[in-house]
Structure 1
């Protein structure tokens, strides 16, 4: 397994040899081979590679004895060389991209779309899409299917590249504490989230270059359609921006709380209480239905009225409908 210095071209044996010489100050081949549990020929080969990199030297006055070059200067020079190589590779990639665009001004229709099937393939393609963005990732999240990427460190990696995220979620998404926690962890400092009553379809867009939408629903093998640029992408961009304009800003507090327009949102139990009350159940019936105390139900109703800035339950009902907290179709009365 490669060590941490693999980025500058050292394999595990070479890195171990260099570290051992740094720690010991110097050693001959036999002693170093014993420390590394290697044969002397393997140790000699590792030292010759390190010598070529300028990391070790064998003084003429002490034949067979090796010492490490100062890490600050020696490793710094190698890192600078690698950075230069990466910059050259980046310039070459830009040049090739320009040449490609010049030769493919009118791409074939079959090059504009691709179908990805299977959970692993969809997840891998989605990661490539997100990480390929140079400026912005836009996403509509309905609560399942495609995601914006919750892998550890992805938000930091995206921020380091100067790529921001804008995401709109359906309000039903807020009913799942685990989902909300995952979304909060996926958002960086410069990212923005909004919430709307309902998200009709999930969607992830990287810059103005490519987009991904699911093709199948529950109970079937995951599949997705990837759209590459052109006129096919424009309606998807328009869809996202329209949903974004209709959404309300969503903020995640350091203590795990969520706020919409600066106000805390009702949680899943709050919404259950409200739905049953709007269906005509009394406070006592709601308490029995949800296995809550009567005072707990009344406290939750009072809290929702305070969040909404209203003074009556009738006003709360209208506010809840307007904000999309509950559906117009009231749930059936389960138990009187």
Structure 2
């Protein structure tokens, strides 16, 4: 049992016997343990050198307290194990990197079915530690955005989400309310007119994107799982480029919107403005927010008056210049 502390079998038996007896001489210990006297003497000499026992009289020994004799040994042993574990982790990473260089299948894994893609969407979000990047295009190939419960759970764990929505997606029923709820939970959302591809990137380590959606008139979803590589770096750069040009979507249920400076708009007005600048039609905004078209048009006119704008384009330009969004 004390092998982890560096004791061999005889040394452990000798030490236990001394702990029980308090102190003993070499012949007495040898007789009690059924060991040779010379063998016992060698064990005691080594144990005295290593601080496990002390000689209280010529040929007579007493044990050093276990917490003093064995505690530091265990600490040193644990430190050695920790260093070894770190070395193994480093070697494992080097092995995986080498394997990826030698085998392209480890860099890009093809997912042949919708079910496999859905499982990876779930897994990457459940295992995300820091940030998830998302391209959300109109329509859905795996599940509606409203069914992505994994995002809500990840946001609850403190995982950051940056999501770029395609304008047409924001026009789908229920999407405005869904986006607003995500923003309320911490999602950073932006919108663009069109996106080049659907994509998710987890912790800048793994990207997931569909490759082929339609084959021979049949819906045959094929996707790729892209791991650490130059291709992954290119996909991350693509996301960041789209993020820079996308329009922020702002919403705050309690009316507190961060970093708005001297913006004269309240939270509801900022949310409406962000949807307008993202290109969502007034009719769609009215339907999504449960308002009449006349009410939305009246609020848009109010925004234009505040900005001194004659058109929606001028309103968008003024909002950008004044950093309202």
TM-score by length of 1: 0.51
- Structure 2: which 5+ residue stretches go unaligned? 1-82, 255-266, 286-291, 320-325
How many residue pairs match? The answer is 211
| Alignment CA distance shift 1:146-1:251 (3 Å) | farther
C-alpha contact (below 8 Å) 2:124/2:202 kept by paired residues: yes
- Give the CA deviation at 1:101: 0.9
Alignment of 1:293-312 (within 5 A): 300-308=296-304, 309=306
Partner of 2:44: none
Larger Rg: 2
- Structure 1: which 5+ residue stretches go unaligned? 1-90, 274-295, 324-336
Partner of 1:119: 114
Equivalent of 2:123 in 123, 128, 139? 128
SS at 2:174 equivalent? helix
- Give the CA deviation at 1:104: 2.8
Alignment of 1:238-249 (within 5 A): 238-249=237-248
Partner of 2:201: 205
Question: Deviations for 1:95-115, whole angstroms, at most 9, x for unmatched residues?
Answer: 765332122333122210011
- Give the CA deviation at 1:211: 0.3
C-alpha contact (below 8 Å) 1:112/1:229 kept by paired residues: yes
- Give the CA deviation at 1:247: 1.5
- Give the CA deviation at 1:208: 1.6
C-alpha contact (below 8 Å) 2:283/2:293 kept by paired residues: no
Question: Are residues 1:182 and 2:174 paired?
Answer: no
Equivalent of 2:152 in 155, 177, 191? 155
Question: Are residues 1:195 and 2:191 paired?
Answer: yes
TM-score by length of 2: 0.52
Hey, what's the Cα distance between the residues in 2 that align with 1:259 and 1:222?
40
Alignment of 1:198-237 (within 5 A): 198-217=194-213, 220-237=219-236
Question: Deviations for 1:181-228, whole angstroms, at most 9, x for unmatched residues?
Answer: 334444563331111222221110011211011123466222211100
Hey, what's the Cα distance between the residues in 2 that align with 1:203 and 1:133?
15
Hey, what's the Cα distance between the residues in 1 that align with 2:88 and 2:125?
21
Partner of 1:285: none
